[in-house]
Chains A and B, each alone.
Chain A
Amino acid sequence: MPDFATFAPVTDRDIERYLTDELDADARAAFEVELQRQPALQAHIDDRRASQAAFAQLHPPPAFLDDTPPRPFWQRWWWTMPAFAMAALLVVGLPSSTTGGDGIVARGSATFAATVTVKRGDRLFALPSTAPSEGRPQVLLRKGDALRVDIEGGVGHTLLLALQSGGRGTVLLQSDVDQPKWSQPSSLVLDDAVGEERLVAVLCDAADVGVRRRALEAGQVPQGAMTWRYSKEPQ
């Protein structure tokens, strides 16, 4: 071990192993001899145990840790490869009849692509879109995080943006999209409620706005909508 170890011959990693019960019996006995010999080490261990207890009280394990881990992509998608190959052949062989782009198209809805950016302090990161029926959210957000939605496409349609949790929803925004690139005028700042939430964006014809609003308020995700799911952690 290096001569500079603070509690030589005990290293910092030994301390972590001791505190997490990773030392075997011999090493543990040797460590405890050092505890007797070095009062400063004993005091340090006492402090660390207090920190561990505080951590366990203040930081419950995030919900996503109980989920089944995602399988590697080749395990998830290998069976779809023949279907993709067939689809690619069809696309090459048939004249295009869709509007194209990376967005979503569905009956009664517009084609669009949307991104959600999270601002936390001076940091920005993207919130990945998710399928409405996927398992528990993998993303943890917290009070004060500011979410901004940017839309591409869907000019001439009406955007509905809703926040859903517990089987109910609130429409946060209804706005006509009048330009190819549209940004939410003011960010959504998350409150201190803890739990899972889902942000839903859908573009629809003016005539369908009422139906879509009611669906969103009932906690449903209309066809063609994009969703972003996250958990909110306690402070």
Chain B
Amino acid sequence: MSTLAAKERHPHMDLSAWYLRYGEPVLRRCRRLMADDALAHDLLQETFLRAHKHQRSYRGGSALSWLLTIADRACFDALKRRARLPVAADGELPSTVEALDLWPSAVRRDFVRTLLSHTDERTALIVIRRYFDELSLDDIAAELQLNEKTIRRSLTSFLAHARTFDQPQEGAHA
């Protein structure tokens, strides 16, 4: 679905109004990525602090996409700080991107969340857009200004990396 972003630009940024309008989706994103309500509230604040600090970098377009990208980066940093080893449902890992697509969405998101802290930021942004926002590869490519081949390769390498955890490891969550 197309958005207003392509046709209109926000005349100016009013972050207080944006907080009321976009705060709930940002908080929801943080909750889904962190699975920790208190931490999600901290990251909501962190997101808007970063948005305030870097508001001159906003170049128009979808404010939602801009804020969610900031939130994703803040969550990614937080996930890195509390890096955990990923564990797949029933100890099985998907062999391909298509196989992961067949998983129940809640299980898939849990799996992806635990793996995010073990990847790089660009891959994390791609994976979040794919498995949390449910965007198509070309939508992800447009939003992140990457080509579709790169998106596909990143998703594949993300899963390949997951398979390196396919052995019982000390400290993994039960």
Contact = CB atoms under 8 A, between A and B. Distances in A.
Interface of A: 1-6, 10-14, 16-17, 19-24, 26-27, 30-31, 48, 51-52, 55-56, 59, 61-62, 64-67, 69-72, 120-121, 138, 140, 233
Given A51-B24, A120-B42, 20 more contacts: A4-B102, A11-B134, A11-B135, A13-B139, A16-B25, A19-B24, A20-B21, A22-B4, A23-B2, A24-B7, A26-B2, A55-B23, A61-B15, A62-B19, A64-B52, A69-B52, A70-B53, A72-B56, A121-B38, A138-B52
B150 to A, nearest CB: 17
A64 B19 contact: no
Contacts of A3: 101
Contacts of A121: 38
Given A2-B101, A4-B134, A24-B4, A55 B24 contact: yes
20 contacts: A2-B130, A2-B136, A4-B134, A11-B133, A13-B129, A13-B134, A20-B22, A20-B25, A20-B63, A22-B64, A23-B2, A24-B2, A27-B3, A30-B1, A55-B27, A56-B23, A62-B19, A62-B45, A70-B53, A140-B45
Contacts of A71: 56
Q: B interface, by DSSP: helix, strand, loop or mixed?
A: helix
B16 interface: yes
Contacts of A13: 129, 133-135, 139
Contact of A5 (B7, B53, B129, B134): B134
A90 B85 CA distance: 55
Interface string B43-54: 011001100110
A50 to B, nearest CB: 10
B105 to A, nearest CB: 6
B52 A2 contact: no
Nearest to B62: A22
B76 to A, nearest CB: 17
| Best-surrounded residue of B1, B52, B129 (most CB of chain A within 10 A) | B1
Query: Which bucket holds chain B's interface residue count?
Result: 35 or more
A66 to B, nearest CB: 6
Interface string B25-42: 101100000000010001
A65 B19 contact: yes
Contact of A138 (B49, B129, B136): B49
B147 interface: no
Given A17-B64, A66-B16, A70-B53, A31 B133 contact: no
A139 to B, nearest CB: 8
A24 B7 CA distance: 9
A72 B90 CA distance: 49
B14 to A, nearest CB: 9
B136 A1 contact: yes
Contacts of A48: 24
A26 B4 CA distance: 10
A5 B131 CA distance: 9
| Best-surrounded residue of B3, B17, B48, B136 (most CB of chain A within 10 A) | B3
B16 A65 contact: yes
B165 interface: no
Nearest to A67: B52
A69 B56 contact: yes
A221 B169 CA distance: 54
Contacts of B16: 61, 65-66
B84 interface: no
| A-B pairs, 6 with minimum CB distance | A27-B1, A11-B134, A55-B24, A61-B16, A13-B133, A61-B19
